[in-house]
Amino acid sequence: MSGPLSVFRDNVLSGHVALVTGGGTGICRGIAAAYARLGADVCIVSRKQDVLDAAARELSEQSGRTVIGVAADVRNPDAIAAAIRTTIDRFGKLDTVVNGAAGNFLAPAAALSPNGFKTVIDIDLLGTFNTSRAAFEALSASGDALILNISATLHYHGTPLQVHASAAKAGVDAVTKNLAVEWGRFRIRVCGIAPGPIAETEGMKRLAPGEVTEKMAAAIPAARFGTIEEIAAAAVYLRSPAAGYVTGHVLVVDGGHCVATPPLGMAFPT
Q: Which residues bind ligand COA (CB under 6 A)?
A: 102-105, 107, 112-113, 115-116, 119-120, 202-203, 206
What is the phi-psi region of residue 101: left when phi exceeds 0, alpha when psi lies from -120 to 50, beta otherwise? beta
Q: How many residues does this entry show for the chain? A: 270
CB-nearer residue toward ligand COA: 29 or 65: 29
CB-nearer residue toward ligand COA: 4 or 195: 195
User: Considering the complex, what minimum distance in angstroms separates the CB of residue 83 from ligand COA?
Assistant: 18
User: Considering the complex, what minimum distance in angstroms separates the CB of residue 268 from ligand COA?
Assistant: 26
CB-nearer residue toward ligand COA: 38 or 234: 234
CB-nearer residue toward ligand COA: 36 or 204: 204
CA distance 216 to 186: 42
CB-nearer residue toward ligand COA: 151 or 247: 151
Closest-by-Cβ residue to ligand COA is 103
User: Considering the complex, what minimum distance in angstroms separates the CB of residue 90 from ligand COA?
Assistant: 27
Beta-bridge partner residues of 43: 19, 68
User: Considering the complex, what minimum distance in angstroms separates the CB of residue 110 from ligand COA?
Assistant: 12
User: Considering the complex, what minimum distance in angstroms separates the CB of residue 250 from ligand COA?
Assistant: 18
CB-nearer residue toward ligand COA: 39 or 103: 103
User: Considering the complex, what minimum distance in angstroms separates the CB of residue 2 from ligand COA?
Assistant: 28
Terminal-residue alpha carbon distance, the chain: 33
